[in-house]
Amino acid sequence: MYIPQLYQNEDLKEVREFIINNSFGILINQIDGKPWATHIPLELDKDSNGKDILYGHIAKANPQWKYFDESTTVLCIFNGPHSYVSSSWYKEEEVPTWNYIAVHIYGKLKIQDELALMASLNKLVDKYERQSENPVSLNNMSKNTLRQVKGVVGFEIEIKEIQAAYKLSQGREQDHSRIIDELKKKDTSGGNAIAGAMNKQVKKTPE
């Protein structure tokens, strides 16, 4: 994706944390020359060699998997918070804009065998059941219920490139405190999250 230098985030620790916390992504490849996208959880993990990978699964009824090819590149998109920023919050006249966080990952995909798929599904369920009052586990489910696993295709993506855009009013540092205050006043989930990200950025910037 196009990212002006000012908005590039090359802090891989921070980007990894973002992916973990915003793991409901979009998997894109091509079907007969046409882009095809599926909205699914794409979980960050490490392979047996310690390399970063993503894993996920889609329904066999989804034709996308029939075009999975280890020789071609897939794109995974992770969207974070975003918010409109009014230029009325600036000290000087300017056009309004939009602040956002987004990460694109390019990689090579391979289909998992059944054993690897089950391991991935167990990790996925355990991660999201952690905060449940009565957590469920695939280990406790009947063979009849687990037959549904036959209807999905699991995959792993070897990460080749990470592009992270953190557009947080860089270059308008003189307006940051006002922008943050106004975003908090609006009290939307996106605005509050962007205000928090901007605050974090201010703390990271050396004086």
Can you give the pLDDT at residue 168? 97
* pLDDT by 10s per residue, the chain, length 207: 999 999 999 999 999 999 999 999 999 999 999 999 999 999 999 988 889 999 999 999 999 999 999 899 999 999 999 999 999 999 999 999 999 999 999 999 999 999 999 999 999 999 999 989 999 999 988 989 999 999 999 999 999 999 999 999 999 999 999 999 999 999 999 999 999 999 988 766 655
- CA separation for the pair 153, 204 (Å, rounded): 42
Can you give the pLDDT at residue 206? 57
- Can you give the residue ranges of every domain in the chain? 5-171
Can you give the pLDDT at residue 201? 81
Burial grade of 197 (CB within 10 A; 0-12, 13-18, 19 or more): buried
Q: Which residues contact 67 (CB under 8 A, 6 or more apart)?
A: 29, 30, 31, 36
Can you give the pLDDT at residue 205? 61
Can you give the pLDDT at residue 10? 93
Report the CATH number of the 5-171 domain: 2.30.110.10
Can you give the pLDDT at residue 92? 94
Can you give the pLDDT at residue 48? 85
- CA separation for the pair 34, 62 (Å, rounded): 15
- CA separation for the pair 43, 64 (Å, rounded): 19
